[in-house]
Structure 1
Amino acid sequence: MRRRFPWQRRTTILLALVMALIGATVAAARPRHDLKFAVSFPSATRTTAADGRAFVIVSTDASSDPRDQIDIVNGVPYWGRNVDGLRPGHAVTLDTGPETYGYPRESLNQLPPGRYYVQAFFNVYDTFHRGDGSTVKLHMPCGDGQNMFDSPQNMYSTPQWITITGDEDQPVKLTLDHVITPNDPVPAGGTCQQGNPAETEHVKRVKILSPKLSAFWGRPMYIGANVLLPAGYDDPANANVRYPVEYHFAHFTEKAPHGFREDGGNDFSKFWLAPSSPKFISVEVREENPFYDSSYVVDSPNTGPYGSATAQELIPALDQQFRTIAAPWARVTSGGSTGGWEALASLVFNPDVYGGTFAGYPDPVDFHRHQIVDVYDDANAYNTYRQWDTPTQRPDSRTAAGDTTYNMAQENLWELALGDHDRSGGAWAIWEAVYGVQGKDGYPALVWNKRTGDIDHSVANQWKPKDLDAKLAAEWPTLGPKLRGEIHMYVGDMDTYFLNDAVELLQKNLAAQTSPPSDATFTYGREKQHGWSPYTDAQWFSVYAAYVASKAPAGTDVSAWRGAVAAGGTMKAATADTASTMSALLPPTMDGGVIQQSDTGRGLPR
């Protein structure tokens, strides 16, 4: 055996160390395997191919399905990807490529190793060959109010625990083994569109096929209404009584208007059933659609002619079925948030159909303050830029103390991960669809880049027909004589979504009108947030009753429905002008119209 010299032994040891270091370095430099999920469904779940958006949702909390834990603030991570023609037994892969996009982590590889409660979901898109020649793929709601994660025909997997190591060399397989079915039984030959809620003694349900909407969407489309009848409506003694109508706009719901209960189990129900209360018919429209849970009750190149369908098809059907006073002076609109915008817009676009509005904390009524963004003049929706300073993020939601809950970029990117082409079912998506024009691809033209927030002013300038303040200003010579004394607004001056800013612009511009004067009223709740109202729902009906009585033609007998406020015998229509009537009805104001009151109103989600 050949003898080894000491320097040879040292060289061997050194070489071994060098090789070990090289191996460790190579191992450390080797990239982790990209995380992938393979999502599929068996024929037992669905027998035909599906278009739509596939999702993977992860959580560390198994107390509920991960799909129910998605939220803008403190929500769980999720990733989505569009897919066309996915067949049973075949898989779509969600990976780190550009087709897969997530929130609050954009890439799947940003998910750290760990143990996760995971669920796959699939939002099914229908293909619409619309009457204008465009073809789009959107999810058709089915009595769920466009609630993606609870909408019939959508699919989801049984949640399961998995461990992510960061070095998976094969996709994690998830099987969509459940399909969502309608919440309500669908009658034979019927449809699940707009739901099929049950009727009660005072709550009736109406659903009609809309020829206008069907022609636009290229398939049968329905609209509906929840109708709350006054106490004594079916009493033979009242067989000849006709009633004024409150059109209360809100998000899609199958609940009775204003939370009415037949057992009188809440304050509003006790009021409604009391003999002395004003007797109205209250109507809430059900207009879920392929973009959102509400249509915004106006005609739009993207959502269709919902304004015309409501005013020209639904209201005549209601007038025919129920004993309404089928005249504009006996119809008032009301609502808050989305419903507040709809209440004002319905009057502005249909001044010969309705006779007044009581609109609370409305979605933006002047696009110089689209929440906090001036779509006409700002360069970016997400940030304010200055020459020598870092960008300042624009807030989206705030607390009463002024702290930011989340910013503009966060909510918009949250929606983008739920669906591109404004298919998220979110607020920013429906605003773009309702206010804006149709893009070349048939989907809504984007008013700003969803990733960067950069505003496209050529698109923004085409929003003006739906800018209610701009419309009123431009058309006041025609609209003014019809709307004088008919616009009544209220909002908290610390509205959660900065909606008071646009209301204040509207007030300023209406106050400048003199030919004729607007005689509009604006009431502000001091340091009140979204959902504030100066009155309870029950109290509002006394306001409506006095207002409608003041609008009634001279000599009209209003005693049959006016209620106890007409104590002392038959009350004829008021002779005073509407502005004087309203100044007596609305709360006392101070500090330029700002009032301090407790928050007694029913808050509505945006």
Structure 2
Amino acid sequence: MSTARRVGLSILLVAAGFITARAQTPTLRFELSTSARPASGRLFVIIGKTDRPEPRNTIGETGMNATPILARDVKNFGLGITAAVDRTAAIFPIESLDALPAGDYYVQALFDSNIDLKSVNAPGNLYSDIQRVHLDPRRASTVKLELTKVIPPEQPPPDDPYVKYVKIQSKLLTRFHGRPIYLRAGLILPKDYDLHDNRHYPLRIHIAGYGTRYTSVQHLMAPSSEFRRMWLADDTPRMVYLQLDGDGPYGDPYQVNSDNNGPYGDAITQELIPHIEKKFRVIPQPYARVLDGESTGGWVSLALKVFYPDFFNAVWSSCPDGVDFRGFQLIDIYKDKNAYVDELGVARPSKRDINGNVEFTIRHECQMENVMGRGDSWTMSGQQWGAWNAAYGPRGRDGRPAPLWDPKSGEINKSIVEHWKKYDLRLVLEQNWKTLGPKVRAKIHIAVGDADSYFLNNAVHMLDDFLKRADPPAEARITYGARQGHCWSILTEGQMLEEMFVAVEQSKPRRSALWEEQKSVEVVGRPSGTDYGGRTAVHGSVSAAWATTQ
């Protein structure tokens, strides 16, 4: 599969009625202007085939049929400055602007200057109206775009009886970044929460797929959703549901301490969760905190249990991102020399379909991120590979995440690898098993499809190989779905909640006068002793709800 070529940048300054730029061969170009205050950032031109969705909302798509985007860095872009984007700008997915087929397009510009949230449609970013134009790279023409619109300040949806939102300034992250940084979360309260003022509940901490925002709880609790029906059913265990936020300065922050993102793990455990436990009648004890997530959230939930084993109870991880860096998708960062091609020079796939057909390669995906990232580098893209690099890697001399591999060639920088070992979960567990083993025993539940779209099953097998021979025994449950793709899980939402309830019940202190438990009921559709296909079966019925009284 061909890949996009990264090329240089140009800037055209307009001031006092004249242009200060070198004369160039007549070509297709875009001239962008704004009346906003000067700011530095990344400037995009998106060339869409349709105006629905808006072209700016297609940034980040992969595949050779993705909407073409051009991008370049600009400094002090504002009133009186015109920036030119032309054939010298970075482009994706085509090789160059000259390769754009002549035709009618819907063109839009976007200026990304937000340094606290890396999504291109973050608050404060500027964008233009959509223009329908005829483009032909073989004919000299100039398209002028004025960025007159601004993405408004963040405004979470209104609370309702079940869905709540939290935003607090983190002292730890503010100190690290030297500017105000906020933690955000969405919560779903259990049925009858307002009817029992003295009742306290376990906390289910959920981390979703890459970049999922805290406001996703609103969609979960939509009036006709299956999740809402399950959550409010009489036989569903009562918990408070916490959705962590998936956006930060370098994209998804992965909720762990890092040289680039800052102490997110400490901020979550020392600031956000204690705040929620005080405000929403949550049991403030480790046994009452359970974790789950899928994809990015699968890795994060497992990592939080590994890095904070005394703070959390058990974890349910589905299709986790690479848990062993010998299987970082199809890259072995310890042995391989190049991320883009194997030892035979064959391009490494990044995504496959259920039949094994390659959808796009790592080089292709990283080229998309090179176009999105400042400095024409995937490390600053705010997308998947860039976020991994920011979370796991060291900070470079330039203050930006040091790249594990060269953006253009894919050559792996072996001097960076040592730092990544801190986030290789299999390696961390294996090297610290005498201490960690007893704390995670029977607490790890992982499910993954054996045809995972991003080859994440490979690393799970590697972790499984260690856990099978671990001493003391891990008693982990790892299940594989034959011919199942990304985000397959062995459990339904209801079944997982039941297992979480059992884990909390079994871990809580000896019952005292403070404990009150509603009458026990057998959960519908869940016979006692059911084996869901893992190495360990879960036995016993669960009660519909329970709480402490204070």
Q: TM-score, normalised on structure 2?
A: 0.86
Q: For residues 339 and 197 of structure 1, what CA distance do their matches in structure 2 show?
A: 23
- Alpha-carbon shift at residue 585 of structure 1 (Å): 5.5
Contact 1:241 1:560 in 2 (8 A): no
Contact 2:167 2:185 in 1 (8 A): yes
Which of 164, 172, 182 is 1:204 aligned to?
A: 164
Which of 495, 498, 512 is 1:542 aligned to?
A: 498
Q: For residues 419 and 158 of structure 1, what CA distance do their matches in structure 2 show?
A: 23
Contact 1:33 1:167 in 2 (8 A): no
Match of 1:152 in 2: 123
1:118 corresponds to 2:107: yes
Residues paired across the two proteins, number: 501
Output the amino acid matched with 1:38.
Answer: E
- Alpha-carbon shift at residue 156 of structure 1 (Å): 1.7
Match of 2:545 in 1: none
Q: For residues 427 and 57 of structure 1, what CA distance do their matches in structure 2 show?
A: 20
Which of 396, 415, 418 is 1:458 aligned to?
A: 415
Q: For residues 335 and 327 of structure 1, what CA distance do their matches in structure 2 show?
A: 21
- Alpha-carbon shift at residue 253 of structure 1 (Å): 3.2
Match of 1:599 in 2: none
Match of 1:392 in 2: 346
Which of 501, 506, 509 is 2:458 aligned to?
A: 501
Change (3 A) 1:363 1:258: farther
Match of 2:477 in 1: 521
Match of 1:255 in 2: 216
Match of 1:86 in 2: 77
Change (3 A) 1:348 1:584: farther
- Alpha-carbon shift at residue 32 of structure 1 (Å): 6.7
Match of 1:278 in 2: 237
Match of 1:588 in 2: 533
Contact 1:382 1:409 in 2 (8 A): yes
Match of 1:336 in 2: 294
Which of 330, 341, 351 is 1:383 aligned to?
A: 341
Change (3 A) 1:165 1:404: closer
Output the amino acid matched with 1:179.
Answer: V
- Alpha-carbon shift at residue 521 of structure 1 (Å): 0.9
Which of 138, 143, 147 is 1:176 aligned to?
A: 147
- Alpha-carbon shift at residue 349 of structure 1 (Å): 0.6
Q: List aligned pairs for 1:132-143, cutoff 5 A.
A: 139-141=115-117
Q: For residues 222 and 366 of structure 1, what CA distance do their matches in structure 2 show?
A: 31
1:475 corresponds to 2:468: no
Match of 2:93 in 1: 104
Q: For residues 49 and 165 of structure 2, what CA distance do their matches in structure 1 show?
A: 42
1:233 corresponds to 2:168: no
Q: For residues 482 and 281 of structure 1, what CA distance do their matches in structure 2 show?
A: 24
Post-superposition Cα deviations, 1:443-498, rounded to whole Å, max 9, x if no partner, equal 00100111111111111222000111111111111111211111111111111111
Q: For residues 274 and 63 of structure 1, what CA distance do their matches in structure 2 show?
A: 38
Which of 354, 361, 364 is 1:410 aligned to?
A: 364
Q: Which has the larger radius of gyration?
A: 1
Q: TM-score, normalised on structure 1?
A: 0.78
| RMSD of aligned Cα (Å) | 2.3
Post-superposition Cα deviations, 1:489-510, rounded to whole Å, max 9, x if no partner, equal 1111111111111111111111
SS in 1 for 2:355: coil
- Alpha-carbon shift at residue 38 of structure 1 (Å): 1.6
- Alpha-carbon shift at residue 346 of structure 1 (Å): 0.7
Output the amino acid matched with 1:59.
Answer: G
Contact 2:449 2:483 in 1 (8 A): yes
Contact 1:52 1:84 in 2 (8 A): yes
Q: List aligned pairs for 1:355-366, cutoff 5 A.
A: 355-366=313-324
Post-superposition Cα deviations, 1:274-307, rounded to whole Å, max 9, x if no partner, equal 3332111111122521111x32110001001110
SS in 2 for 1:353: coil
Q: For residues 561 and 415 of structure 1, what CA distance do their matches in structure 2 show?
A: 52
Change (3 A) 1:311 1:101: same
Q: For residues 334 and 365 of structure 2, what CA distance do their matches in structure 1 show?
A: 21
Query: Where does structure 2 lack aligned partners over 5 or more consecutive residues?
Result: 1-23, 537-550
Q: For residues 165 and 196 of structure 1, what CA distance do their matches in structure 2 show?
A: 42
- Alpha-carbon shift at residue 342 of structure 1 (Å): 0.9
Q: For residues 281 and 239 of structure 1, what CA distance do their matches in structure 2 show?
A: 14
Query: Which range moves more in the overlay, 223-232 or 446-455?
Result: 223-232
Change (3 A) 1:248 1:165: closer
Post-superposition Cα deviations, 1:340-367, rounded to whole Å, max 9, x if no partner, equal 1111011111011101101110111111
Q: For residues 257 and 160 of structure 1, what CA distance do their matches in structure 2 show?
A: 33
